[in-house]
Amino acid sequence: MLKPVDVFNSWALNGKDEGMQKNHSIAVDSMMQMLIENSNKKFSFIDAGCGNGWVIRKVNMYDSCYYSVGVDGSKNMIDKARNIDPTGNYICSDLLRWKPKEKVDYVHSMEVVYYFENPSKLLKHIYDYWLKIGGSIIIGVDFYKENIITHSWPQRLNTLMTLLSKKEWYNCFSKSGFRNIELFQVNSKNDFQGTLVIKAKS
């Protein structure tokens, strides 16, 4: 079985990251609107599992964003992000070990957290070390129990994915210390139940 980081390293080389960017753009646009409720207020931002950096490039278009950083465990993805955006801030690191120098207002993550064997461990790490008190996190996942069409993904990709229900995701956030937890489903069509979006405050 492949490590998720190895899968993403290969995707960066074969251009699959560009397809992910296109396919996830509708969900991410919705997530950004939910997360950045007041675009006039200055904010700092981390993208957890930033891939080729497309969300960081998007958030840097906000005049109110005074600091942003994208973090990813895939060296090839980070290399690509830096090549596309030489002035951006991108770090190659294990998300479970990395800590920002200063805590931030917002954390965003799209299609990343279920690649960890214990998503609660990552969420607790983000709660403890990444977010300011009163800061907000938003994550999007397509792989969840209610979205049956995605259940074959671990076998197809030969990699670890942790399958949780909407209730289990809620509990992960709650046990990690988050409050004001909200769940949404966006961009559903046909058999695809949509991206499950979870937003919460620290």
pLDDT in tens, 97-110: 999 999 999 999 99
Q: What is the pLDDT of residue 37?
A: 75
pLDDT at 16 over 80: no
Burial (CB < 10 A; 0-12, 13-18, 19+), residue 114, is buried
DSSP strand E in 4-81: where? Answer: 43-48, 65-72
Has residue 17 got a pLDDT over 80?
Answer: no
| Domains delineated in the chain | 4-12+43-201 (3.40.50.150)
Burial class of residue 181 in the structure, from the number of CB atoms within 10 Å of its CB (0-12 exposed, 13-18 middle, 19+ buried):
middle
pLDDT score for 21:
78
Nearest to 6 by CA among 76, 111, 83, 79: 76
pLDDT-based confidence at residue 38 (cuts at 50, 70, 90): confident
178 vs 4: which has the higher pLDDT? 178
Residue 21 main-chain phi, psi, to 5 deg? -60, -45
Is the pLDDT at 114 greater than 90, yes or no?
Answer: yes
The pLDDT value recorded for residue 57 is 98
Would the pLDDT of 149 be above 90?
yes
